[in-house]
Amino acid sequence: MACHLLLTDFTLPLKSPKLSHSRQQRKGRSNGSRKVSTTVAYYGLKTPPYNLDGLEPYMSKRALEVHWGVRHRGFVEDLNRQLRKSDILYGYTMDELVKTTFNNGNPLPEFNNVAEAWNHDFFWESMQPGGGDMPKLGLLGQIEKDFGSFTNFREKFVETALSLFGSGWVWLVLKRQDKRLAVVKTSNSINPIVWEGIPILNLDMWEHAYYLDYKNDKAKYVSMFMNHLVSWNAATDLLETCKLTATRICRAPYLGGFEPDICFIERYR
């Protein structure tokens, strides 16, 4: 199993977390009179692929500062704190760590933090300045094939988001077995990769995602996402890559120069 380690300096300004690839040794538990050195893994906070004011006026800079800079950062920092105590959860890519800590439906304590870190990384990529409109090329054809029309898909996505009880996420996924697109909702931090779904798009339906800009008007938040924020470019690229690749791929091109640590699509079968 490939080991990818990220070190991040959490004291750096929000917009420029410094990530590097190296190993960190710490003194582990005492084994009798002998000190044991343990290698631990750390995961870094990735920046969204746009400036924090890049989604205004539909998602404010203040909302991004809190949502990404505080909430998302908190999930990553809490995960790293947990991993410092683990000699077992080492060397996983983040998608592997999500699946491993899901533990077949009996989540380990680390699951919520790693899944929420993953989900938020994906959420920032699911939006872009000047987003909205309609998908193009292959994704539009696949949506029309699997939902009947783009209008049907949109209605299904919105209905699913607004019918989610409590906190969670709504997703457009490619079902690995059926090779069909589907809209699914998940509670709390659950990510469809634990059920072998391949995420194409997601929308954060936790209250913290919309309250600053939309208070309790979830319908307006979802509408703004669909009309002005959703990145069909990213989703289209992702689906095409899913279909074309015969090997494990990573969706981290925007990271520019980073190694592909966050791999989450294994194979389109």
Nearest Cα neighbor of 8 from 89, 94, 97, 73 is: 73
Please identify, using beta-carbon distances, which residue of 4 and 72 lies nearer to Fe ion: 72
**Shortest distance, position 215 Cβ to Fe ion, whole Å:** 16
**Shortest distance, position 119 Cβ to Fe ion, whole Å:** 7
What is the DSSP code (8-state) at residue 176?
T
Residues 6+ apart with CB under 8 A from 57: none
Residues 6+ apart with CB under 8 A from 245: 265, 267, 268
Tell me the residue nearest to Fe ion as measured from the CB: 204
Q: Which of residues 23-42 bind Fe ion (CB under 5 A)?
A: none
Please identify, using beta-carbon distances, which residue of 174 and 209 lies nearer to Fe ion: 209
**Shortest distance, position 31 Cβ to Fe ion, whole Å:** 41
**Shortest distance, position 10 Cβ to Fe ion, whole Å:** 19
Q: Where are the beta strands (DSSP E) in 128-221?
A: 168-175, 180-187, 197-204
Number of shown-chain residues binding Fe ion (CB under 5 A)? 3
Please identify, using beta-carbon distances, which residue of 42 and 123 lies nearer to Fe ion: 123
**Shortest distance, position 185 Cβ to Fe ion, whole Å:** 15
The number of angstroms, rounded, from the C-alpha of 105 to the middle of its chain's C-alpha atoms is: 19
Give the span between the Cα atoms of 32 and 10, in whole angstroms: 34
Residues 6+ apart with CB under 8 A from 256: none
Q: Which of residues 95-134 bind Fe ion (CB under 5 A)?
A: none
Q: Which of residues 194-233 bind Fe ion (CB under 5 A)?
A: 204, 206, 209
Number of residues that this document lists for the chain: 269
Please identify, using beta-carbon distances, which residue of 135 and 168 lies nearer to Fe ion: 168
Please identify, using beta-carbon distances, which residue of 74 and 129 lies nearer to Fe ion: 74
Please identify, using beta-carbon distances, which residue of 153 and 171 lies nearer to Fe ion: 171
Helical packing angle, 150-162 and 137-147, nearest 10°: 70
**Shortest distance, position 190 Cβ to Fe ion, whole Å:** 13
Q: Where on the chain is the footprint of Fe ion (CB under 5 A)?
A: 204, 206, 209
